[in-house]
Amino acid sequence: MKISVIGTGYVGLVSGTCFAQMGNSVTCVDIDQGKIDKLIQGIIPIYEPGLEDMVLENYAKGTLKFTVDIQNAIASTGIAFIAVGTPMGEDGSADLQYVLAVAKSIGQHMQNYMVIVDKSTVPVGTAEKVRAAIQAELDTRGSDLVFDVVSNPEFLKEGAAIKDFMHPDRVVIGADSERAMKIMHDLYEPFMKNHDRFIGMDIKSAEMTKYAANAMLATKISFMNEMANICERVGADINKVRNGIGSDSRIGYSFIYPGCGYGGSCFPKDVQALAKTAKDFGYTPRILDAVEAVNYDQKHVISQKVFSRFGQNLEGKTFAVWGLAFKPETDDMREASAITIINDLTAKGAKIVAYDPKARHEAEKHYLKGNASVSYVDGKYEALDNADAIILVTEWQEFRSPDFEEMQKRLKNSIFFDGRNQFNKERMAEIGFEYFQIGV
């Protein structure tokens, strides 16, 4: 099939590349000429395991193209995926200006029947707005071309996006046309040879499914973090509690790990957007509001532990931070807990020496830019030199079995703040660390 993907961010680039991997002819479009030039040169703007090799392979074969020319891209394809950003507005709602701008361009340039697919995470009712924007342009042209708008929410996990796309646990399609539904089933069929995981439904239900899924996962995280905070106060151990409840098949072990809060591009934005939608329709989403409030507070928990140990005045103190990305196997720092923790500590006079295997450039260029109290190093042990304590924020694999003797040689004090409960407190005590966990 001939496909155009408008937007070469995380969702667009991964989706377009994986469709090309299956033999489709894919054109990825972006308004950023610099980004397109880099993609043509093989420079990938995001870190995602396996993505770079797949992009280079399909670009070399000619199944994957990059351009800023949306007119030719639209005119020559039968399926157009809208995969542009939907940033969060000040009121928590999803900003649809980029989605609707793409819809307008499609209406201006389409030359034949098309299926227009909302791949961006968008609130319920967006498909109707996209349809109206396209139809308005066709009316201006005096064109009688027909088209269908489809909702196809993505469920990719950063760090495992290629695997998730190539072997999906489900493909959700919302459509009100049998023709469009069949086209989408044919498109995704090669990805589901072992088991048909295609789930068709109406458009509004598909739009809602994405938000409901992320809200449920965020709820599990905030619930466990709240349990962790209670455990600390009553003298229980959240790690043991997690094992006790995770063995219940109705609950399971996924997303019940306590920590210093969730981040990323999906959970914070989607929870707030769904809450805003509910309020717009006259409903107060008490659970969603609580999920967001718990997560906001949780990002400060490690900072509070540091203040309890070292005091409110951190002048002359240096802290090593392991991990900046919101999760391992990505360089994404959007809403990352590390940002909150570092800003809390530097506001009290602390110096930070940070190490992350992939996200350093994001911190330097964007999320911690201008914070003169933060410096960066190229190795995890280098970050420890003469630091008063270490703070683990992101659970990268290379942090799971460190050389504790080497750590103690480099640290000024053997003090470890663990924001992801990676280690056993009894063993850490035996080694000689003053060890702080969450929920213990």
259 in a known ligand binding site: yes
Tokens of 84: 């542009």
- As a whole number of angstroms, the distance between CA 198 and CA 161 comes to 18
Is residue 18 part of the annotated active site? The answer reads: no
Tokens of 100: 């609707």
269 in a known ligand binding site: yes
| Helix/strand number for the chain, H first, E second | 17, 14
- Identify the DSSP state of 365: I
| H-state helical runs in 86-160 | 97-109, 126-141
Which one is catalytic: 18, 28, 231, 266?
266
- As a whole number of angstroms, the distance between CA 110 and CA 252 comes to 47
Rounded to the nearest 5°, which phi and psi values hold at 267? -55, -50
Question: Rounded to 5 degrees, what angle do the CA atoms 301, 306, 307 make?
Answer: 95
209 in a known ligand binding site: no
49 in a known ligand binding site: no
- As a whole number of angstroms, the distance between CA 421 and CA 302 comes to 12
* Contact indicator for 104, 113 with CB cutoff of 8 Å: no
What are the beta bridge partners of residue 160? none
Helix (H, G, I), strand (E, B) or coil at 65: strand
310 in a known ligand binding site: no
Q: How many CB atoms lie within 10 A of CB 296?
A: 13
- Identify the DSSP state of 394: S
Looking only at Cα atoms, what is the longest distance across the chain? 78
Whole-angstrom CA distances from 312 to 43, 309, 346, 351 are: 44, 9, 11, 14
287 in a known ligand binding site: no
65 in a known ligand binding site: no
156 in a known ligand binding site: yes
Listed residue (332, 310, 203) closest to 264, CA to CA: 332
369 in a known ligand binding site: no
* Contact indicator for 278, 285 with CB cutoff of 8 Å: yes
257 in a known ligand binding site: yes
**Paired sense of beta strands 147-151 and 198-201, if any:** unpaired
404 in a known ligand binding site: no
Find how far residue 55's CA is from the centre of its chain: 20
Binding site members for NAD(+)? 30, 35, 86, 121, 158, 269, 334
- Detail the residues annotated as belonging to a binding site for substrate: 155-158, 210, 255-259, 263, 327
Annotated binding residues, as ranges?
A: 30, 35, 86, 121, 155-158, 210, 255-259, 263, 269, 327, 334
Would you please indicate which residues are annotated as catalytic (active-site) residues? 266
